[in-house]
Structure 1
């Protein structure tokens, strides 16, 4: 007669409690986005060439104009801050700001990023913080370098002006902030459009081409023009006040600073709202 083998009693296994992953800290997001940015050689070369080109444009403009300088010294913004150099800065900054986002969408890296950090709005804000910091530094270097180079050339003709000269400091700050403002606009458009060609074309049209379509002879046209970034920069670098007898409508200095502030804030805010509501 056989007896059944004894079955050892089963030991109950306690249920596993999932460990919640702590949310990424903003400084970690900032650090990761900064590593992405500085690891690209194209970023370093683009920034270096842009700085050299814009400062070189200021030197060329000053050398061209110095022969016509006579009489008491005055500050002429088209010497230190020529339109050719700073329109190029706007183009490069907006394009690089857009590529910060669009390059991840085109390569598929954005899926890895959102899996690591599900809070997509925080990802956009991290990219915006790095973009603003980088291009503020670039804009400050370019603006200061342009002014110093132009004044060094004019000092030989006793036509240089100090930074305390009326209108100089405002023009220097406005030119320094032009780069981060355009870069953040490009970044916001990149999140909204998610296409490299479309984003670059939209940035170029909005920042560079659209202001030339409006004049200051009519009130409605002047209001639309003054609401654009390049027109605001042009007003802020101008050291003189508008002629009361002029037939045109000129933007105000406070209004131009408001335009500088609202464009990057609105585009980045829209990007944060949109990225939270749609799939990758």
Structure 2
């Protein structure tokens, strides 16, 4: 599927700044996809970017790895993490350092990171472990168009307010009516430029066009899996900050479709909420 742009949208997008891939990420990606990547070369590339190397050392020395001695070498860290875990981490750090956040979105990356972690955990709980890395990247990247548009349009706070009260499914329609583009399109274009997997790009693009999406054929089965997992992860994140008694408008729109698609009951969904935090 190609990202579809109207003529008006193409004109608008000429004025919107979509950050290019950082040079370190470009070099890292080229080396990592080789049949026999050179670990020393990868380490040198990562060390050239202070933000990326600092984040890698922070992760590898975190409680999750339970190491008796602190690792202070990027090459050691690469060996401990392995490329499979390193690739989404490097992309995550590069994204955060490339996209400026306005004051109105001060907790944006924390929320996106939570959604990514929930999505990855949900993949395992649903016996879809092969999708975990894609789900994490989707969770992190899916909303990146929001800060980009917020920086570009002075009155974008109106969209954020709409999302707060009516949910992003409604707010995305309001967003398009106001600006003739959407954060889903912007996010998909960035993901495309950053060479994310095509299926992740597609789900970012369709994330709020949810009316019948799981049966329309617009996405393949993996795309439907990832979209369903993203919606569950977003609702999980919503529940962590909002009283359970309040309804999440975005979740209410697609809840039945997601549960039918995944063939899960309310009880199984309740179990999933708790388990995805573990």
Check whether TM > 0.5: no
TM-score normalised by the chain length of structure 2: 0.28
TM-score normalised by the chain length of structure 1: 0.28
Larger RCO: 1 or 2 (CA < 8 Å, sep 6+): 1
